[in-house]
Amino acid sequence: MSTTFASLRHDWILAEAVSLFDLPFNDLLFQAHGVHRANFDPNAVQLSTLLSIKTGACPEDCAYCPQSVRYDTGLERERLLPLEDVLAAARRARSSGATRFCMGAAWRSPKDRDLDQVVEMVQGVKAIGLETCLTLGMLTDRQARRLKEAGLDYYNHNLDTSPEFYGNIITTRTYQDRLDTLEHVRAAGLSVCCGGIVGMGEDRRDRAGLLVALANLPKHPESVPINRLVQVEGTPLYGVDRLDGLEFVRTVAVARIMLPGSYVRLSAGRSAMSDELQAWCYFAGANSIFYGEKLLTTGNPEADHDRELFQRLGIRPLHKEKVQEEAGELEMRACRCGAAELPASA
């Protein structure tokens, strides 16, 4: 596999990103697929499984989230899962083909005493042979270092949307709070999983602004989840106009161009996507998915259906060793090539 890093940049401006979104659909996908093919095997997809280890009662006011204590969504609150339940879920994920096991807890930020149990989960999942990822809310520098010492591989902390639209979605945590956590995670030596949600009532400039914020981080996230809003009755975003499917594909394509060395993950919202729409996303540069029956509190295509779709498309899952090999290769090439520029149009 030859890897081209001529496109690795950290100096994008909003007008450039918008111009990519505005390209004719075929031109955009042609450019995105070329970047994808130059940097990754175009017929391989990394599989992750996500488990909610602590559900509900979150004090934040994220307008999309059924786990917020502020909204009546009928969600049952659950305490932190026992270690054995988490490990049993990890074993099922491994047997289904997942290479990474992600654990999410509905906290604003974890208390130090909470981390005692989470550390045991990380160590147990690592022992099963899976990569580990956590999403626990905001972290201090010390907490990030402790998780790294426990063997954690990835930490997920999304920017959600553009800085300009952010205040329409959440008021209990600032954009800078999110950036600070990402800085702590990077300083601890953890890999970063960071993306956002589209279809929350934002416009195209906001989708472009989110990708600019991600691409201009000091180091591109290793994984970039692109979530399509799952509307939940009782949340403020229930009933918002649904995002056009082709606009979602455009978002994936622009993410691939601006973040050429990152795994772009199809995340929440896949259960409402047709097979054809998912196929367009894979062509546009998506090469990672959340795999399994549930994402925290929302549905997800069943693993059997994903396997059938992969077979129809000639796609194969990436094995853990190959994911690690590609990550190392991308890291080395990124360090050598720096931030050379790529024209914003085809």
Our answer to whether residue 65 is catalytic in this structure is: yes
Marked catalytic residue, from 9, 100, 133, 250? 133
Our answer to whether residue 281 is catalytic in this structure is: no
Our answer to whether residue 108 is catalytic in this structure is: no
Marked catalytic residue, from 9, 62, 100, 256? 62
Q: How far is CA 191 from the centre of its chain?
A: 12
What SS3 class is residue 27?
helix
Closest to 7 measured CA to CA, from 337, 346, 264: 337
Marked catalytic residue, from 65, 100, 178, 256? 65
Query: What span, in angstroms and rounded, lies between the C-alpha atoms of 209 and 60?
Result: 23
- Neighbouring CB atoms inside 10 A of 278's CB total 20
Closest to 41 measured CA to CA, from 346, 326, 232, 337: 326
Marked catalytic residue, from 193, 228, 256, 270? 193
**Is there a contact between 104 and 50 (Cβ–Cβ < 8 Å)?**
yes
Marked catalytic residue, from 9, 100, 102, 207? 102
Our answer to whether residue 193 is catalytic in this structure is: yes
Phi then psi dihedrals of residue 51, to 5 deg: -125, 135
Instruction: Give the pairing type, strands 44-54 and 154-156.
Output: unpaired
Marked catalytic residue, from 58, 146, 194, 207? 58
Helix axes 245-258, 204-215, angle to 10 degrees: 20
Our answer to whether residue 62 is catalytic in this structure is: yes
Marked catalytic residue, from 9, 146, 265, 270? 265
Catalytic sites, residue numbers: 58, 62, 65, 102, 133, 193, 265
